[in-house]
Amino acid sequence: MENKYMLIYRDIAEKIRENQIKKNTRLPSEFELMEIYEVSRETVRKALNLLAQNGYIQKIRGKGSIVLEMNKIDFPVSGLVSFKELAKSMGKRHKTTVQYFNLENPDFNMMNNLNLKPSDEIWAVKRIREIDGEKVILDKDYINRNFIEHLTEEICSNSIYEYIEKDLGLTISFAKKEITVKEPSEEDYELLDLEGFHNIVVVKNFVHLDNASLFQYTESRHRPDMFRFIDFARRV
């Protein structure tokens, strides 16, 4: 059984997406929603705050909650989307090739990135992502073995995230991302179909589990034309 406020959030969000609730109109007031869903006001407000945080509505004191038009269904890179979900949502042919797979000790950089001791072990994986037959993304993952005991090449060629969440029952909670543009390395030129491009978009990802432990560092190197990031930023 789900939370009440989650159910209300999902219900309203779906109605907005499906245009049952029109853009630029007002939602029922919080007091009306209390009666509609038979819950307390704070519960209504939790649902509305979620809607606002996710760009569905804008709450305006004294006026009401206005439904925004934001075509959010765009290209959901924001958040923690896996390559597999992403390619699927674009409706493109995609393929993942594991180019390197090893259990090893961290070098100085990784000790720093993942807060490790020299004696700790990490899974190091390099994967090449193809979209429509072109090699356009190079993913380098480094996973702390203290959290993921077993891993195989097989799993990596499918989806590491699916394995972690579905099979191991761990929950990924948050990630810190850093996006920069660099010159391609020798390796990028070698492994990707860079054609005429002389830059590469580097997305560094520090991924945490829901017990706050940092368990993975990923560096995702995109051909520039295969990169798009959408962000919805709300002032606090």
Compute CA distances 126 → 129, 157, 174, 183, whole Å: 10, 10, 22, 19
46 or 127, CB closer to its own copies? 46
Strand (E) positions, 25-168? 57-60, 64-67, 94-104, 122-131, 134-144
Return the residue of 45, 135, 140, 145 that touches DNA, per CB under 7 A. 45
Asked whether position 41 contacts DNA by CB under 7 A, the answer is yes
- From residue 1 to residue 20, the character string flagging contacts with DNA as x (rule: CB under 7 A) and all else as - is --xxxx--------------
Q: Which of residues 56-115 bind DNA (CB under 7 A)?
A: 59-65
Helix (H) or strand (E) holding 181: strand 172-182
Q: Is 25 near DNA (CB under 7 A)? A: no
> Which residue lies nearer to its own copies by CB, 38 or 236?
236
Query: Is residue 55 near DNA by the rule CB under 7 A?
Result: no
Of 96, 154, 104, 94, the closest CA to residue 127 belongs to 96
The reply to whether 209 sits near DNA by the rule CB under 7 A is: no
* Residues of the shown chain interacting with its own copies in the complex, contacts defined by CB under 8 A: 42, 50, 53-55, 58, 60, 63, 66, 68, 70, 78-80, 171-182, 197-199, 201, 208, 210-212, 224-225, 227-236
Residue 101 binds which entry of DNA, its own copies, none, with Cβ cut-offs from 5 to 8 Å by kind?
A: none
Residues between 129 and 168 that touch DNA (CB under 7 A): none
Rounded to whole angstroms, the Cα distance separating 34 from 18 reads: 23
For the chain, how far is it from start to end, CA to CA, in angstroms?
32
3-state secondary structure of 167: helix
CA distance 222 to 100: 18
Counting contacts by CB under 7 A, is residue 117 touching DNA? no
Cα–Cα distance, 109 to 115 (Å, whole number): 10
What's the rounded Cα separation, in Å, for the pair 17 and 14? 5
Closest distance of CB 152 from its own copies, Å: 26
Distance CA 223, CA 130 (A): 11
Which of these ranges, 30-38, 106-114, 198-206, 218-226, lies near DNA under the rule CB under 7 A?
A: 30-38
Binds 40: which of its own copies, DNA, none (CB < 5-8 Å by kind): DNA
Question: CB–CB of 209/172 below 8 Å?
Answer: yes
Question: Smallest distance from the beta carbon of 71 to DNA, in angstroms?
Answer: 23
State the minimum distance, in angstroms, from the CB of residue 52 to DNA. 8
Tell me the C-alpha distance between 152 and 86, whole Å.
22
Applying CB under 7 A, the residues found at the interface with DNA are 3-6, 27, 29-32, 38-43, 45-46, 48, 59-65
